[in-house]
Each structure stands twice: as structure tokens, then as C-alpha cells.
Amino acid sequence: VMSNNNFNLINLKETKNIIIDSLKYLFVVASICAIVPLILRIDIKFFGTFNHESSLIEWFQLLCLFLTITIFTRLLFKIPNLKRASMLIAAFYLVLFIRENDDIFDLVYHGFWAPWAFLVALIAIVYAFKDWKKGVLELATYLKIPHMKLMIFSVMFLFVFSRLFGMGSFWRQVMQDNFVYEVKAMIEEGTELLAYGLILYSAYLIYKYLVNEKI
């Protein structure tokens, strides 16, 4: 024990577990990063061109969102003390799921996805904050979980970096007269899939943490 700063040395068993967990984390994150360009290559190889509305990468985005929603929906029932916050988070990703399926909703009319997304968000917010003290407390409990930092980073990566990096005006400046929309779309959809993959992984880590801690 180092008494000067109250820092406790860990034992050999803890050291082994920490190293193994860190290597697992590194492997999964590296795998997610590697899978995205692989899927893009498959899209081009087998489809010849890139249509993001009916591409393999789009299906993987929807799969990641669906599994993330499933995880937080399961937590809604498994951890009653956090049901309001779990529903709020699940609803957030359900709104994204609806938005990603805008091409289907557009068969009715353009923007038909918006009222459904608004309805889902409204129901979740009303439910979560009907008793606002409990809602805020549950949300704060979630935010205290270490793995939420990865989720917050991934959401910011989705909404900020992928949007700015995938802007058509930026790629028109880069490619000028050689601008190809498919290239711009691949870059934007690829960064989105990377974000969704990291979101799914953080959701899994949060689920594992909450179940093990029995909050």
C-alpha cells in the first residue's frame, strides 16, 4: 500500500484480469474498425456500385441499432430501478432506427418518418420524467457507468464527425470536377456504421455491467 496518496497496489490475479479485459476491449474495437471497410469492399465487389439505401452497410447499420434497442429494452425489464432511463435510451435509438428507414416511410410521403419518431420520443420523455426526480436520478445512474463514456463518444461521432466529414460540399471541394456521389456516400455511411458498431459494443458493456453489479 502506498500511504502517501492512498493508492492500493493490485494483486497478480487482478493484474491478469485487467490485462485480459483490456486486450478483449482492444480486439473488439479493432474488429469493429476493420469490419466497416470490409463491408464497403463487399458492397462494391458484388453490387458494382454503391446505393446506400439498399446496401449491405445499411443493413448492418439497422442490425446494430436493432440489437442496441433490444439490449436497453431487456434492461427495462431486468433492472426495474432503471426502467425510466432504460426506456428513454431505447426510445432514442428507436428514433434513429425509424430515421434510418426513411426510404420506406417515404413511400407514403416524404418525411412520413418524422411524426412517428416524434411520437416515440414524446412517449418516452413523458414516461421517463413523469416523476422527474426518479427520471433524473436513473439517468444520472446510467451516466455514472464507465462504459457510458464510450457510448457518448460514439453518439457524438455519429452526429458531429460523420455529418461534417460526409458533407457533399466538402467532398465537392476535394474532388472538384471529379466529384462522384457514390464516394461521398460510402464515406458518410462507413463512418455512420463505425459509430453504430461502437454504440452497440458500449450497450453490451453497459448491460454486462448492470447485470453484474445488480443495481
pLDDT tens digits, one per residue of 162-209: 999 989 889 999 998 888 888 888 889 999 999 999 999 999 999 999
Mean pLDDT along residues 43-60: 77
Q: Show the DSSP H helices in the chain as ranges.
A: 12-47, 56-78, 83-100, 102-105, 113-129, 132-144, 148-156, 162-165, 168-175, 181-213
pLDDT at 1: 41
pLDDT band for 48, please (50, 70, 90 cuts).
low
Average pLDDT, the chain: 89
| Three cell numbers, residue 7 | 493508492
Handedness of CA 13, 14, 20, 21 (dihedral sign): positive
Type of residue found at 172:
R
pLDDT tens digits, one per residue of 136-145: 999 999 999 9
